[in-house]
Amino acid sequence: PPYVLCKCSLRPVAYPRFEPPEDVHTPFQYFKMLFTDEMIEHIAYHTNLYSAQKLGDPIKTSTEEIEDFLAILLYMGVFTFPSLEDYWHQESRFNIIADIMPRKRFQLLRRYIHFCDNQQINESPDRFYKIRPLFEISVDEVMVAYKGTMAGTLRFKLFCRASSSGIIHHLMLYQGISTFFNVALTEQEQMLPLGAKVMTTLCKTIKHPELSVVFFDNFFTSFGLIQSLYSSLGVRCIGTVRPNRTGGAPLMADKDLVKHGRGASDYRSAEGVIAVKWFDNKCVNLLSNASGIMPLSTVRRWSKESKAKISIPCPSLIPAYNEHMGGIDLSDMLVHLYKIPAKSKRWYLPLFGYIIDLCVTNSWLVYKRDCDLLKQKPMSLKKFRLAVAHSHTPRPPRPKPQPDVRYDNMGHWPLHCDKRGRCNVCPKGVSRWRCQKCDVFLCLNSNRECFVKYHQK
């Protein structure tokens, strides 16, 4: 390699701080910053379009109904049942969900929900064309499970850029050779290996690159990539690196460094990039142009020889890397706490569920950051998610009559209604007859006398 490396450290970069907001918004407002009204309208339009293409007539959904559909999905992520039908089944009915929408209507929406025009799919090289609009709203990698008709579980790979707090800022769907079909890359960037090309693409969307430091693992890191990101974008980087990607730095061999004991380190630098090898339990290699060796800190480690914790020296870029590298893992953990059930033959539904879960998680992390800045106690992710779901369904659920009222045999007159409702006795029954006192729909015909059964113990 054409790099001449010498023993010279770097001055660490100061990280920017967030200014506290004037006030904390509601959970629904935070969610709407990410999953906007325009996206709801987009889904409603293309769902009607797709259903018209398949059925001849649209299912005539609306933005209000799509919001109800989203609320049900958010509830299902918190309250899990073995199957979707169980939420509406008479013996296991979950009123919060079942009162929002009839089961058949929910299944119809789930069957025909769409995000683009299928008639234009052959004109696009994008394998994820059907779900692409959702990924335009919004570094490591994330796997999204998909379980369809095949045995076992398949997974989609997504490359992500996240903050150290876990907020995902940019997503890329991996699709092999056509991953970068819609990315403007120079001829030189097109020749980069996959990891370097991914990092270049993700870093191009950083709003203030000169104030940013990017952390990544050894799949991405190379001497040339760190130089390229700084020269073209002004982004500084810290990353673990494989021994053959250190730019030819003449670092001490692992066996020689181990002889100096735990905490020993060696380093070389060239053209503003420092290569560091540090021995803890094993040797680790890092490249950085954002932080160097100094100032040295100490870390506590367990010593088998002395059978006690000891302090060992540690280069300054090691704590910086450990502190800021876990954003993707944190986001992945939070998303899977209340994951929307998405088992389906349609491959794009798990990705749709992931986007909704990610929007909730991202909005909660922003809300939590604002609460911390204003020194207010934030609500938990579960309460935040339920608050978003409640806001999508502002009408309160219809209360069930108390047993003393239901069985008192007084004033239970059947009223004939223009609109039909689901029977409260038989799971598949639909009736126009409603009890005036109990305010529930019940079958009342020669085949089903649910009205009588409902009022008898």
Domain boundaries, the chain: 27-135+341-392, 153-327, 403-454
Lookup result for tokens 């794009």: 348
Integer CA distances (angstroms), 237 to 172, 191, 227, 290, 322, in order: 20, 21, 9, 6, 13
Residue 40 near residue 67, CB atoms below 8 Å: yes
Which phi and psi (to 5°) does residue 242 adopt? -75, 150
The 3 state secondary structure assigned to 280-319 is CCCEEEEEECCCCCCCCEEEEEEECCCCEEEEEEECCHHH
How big is the CA angle at 428 (ends 425 and 433), to the nearest 5 degrees? 60
Report the distance separating Cα 138 and Cα 384, nearest Å.
20
What's the pLDDT at 146?
43
What's the pLDDT at 334?
92
Report the distance separating Cα 306 and Cα 292, nearest Å.
31
CB atoms within 10 A of CB 213: 21
Report the distance separating Cα 247 and Cα 271, nearest Å.
11
Q: Is 422 helix (H, G, I), strand (E, B) or coil?
A: strand
User: What is the C-alpha radius of gyration for the chain, rounded to an integer number of angstroms?
Assistant: 29
The per-residue pLDDT string of the chain (457 residues; one tens digit each, 9 = 90 and over) reads 444 445 555 555 555 566 777 888 899 999 998 898 889 999 999 999 999 998 888 899 999 999 999 999 999 999 999 988 999 988 888 988 998 989 999 999 999 999 888 787 776 677 777 777 777 654 444 444 444 444 445 577 888 888 888 888 888 888 887 777 777 777 787 788 888 888 888 888 888 888 888 888 888 888 888 888 888 888 888 888 888 888 788 888 888 888 888 888 888 888 888 888 888 888 889 888 888 777 778 888 878 777 888 888 888 888 888 888 888 888 889 989 999 987 777 888 888 888 999 999 999 999 999 898 889 999 999 999 999 999 877 555 566 778 888 888 888 999 998 888 888 888 678 888 999 888 888 998 888 888 988 988 7
What's the pLDDT at 394?
56
What's the pLDDT at 323?
84
What's the pLDDT at 147?
46
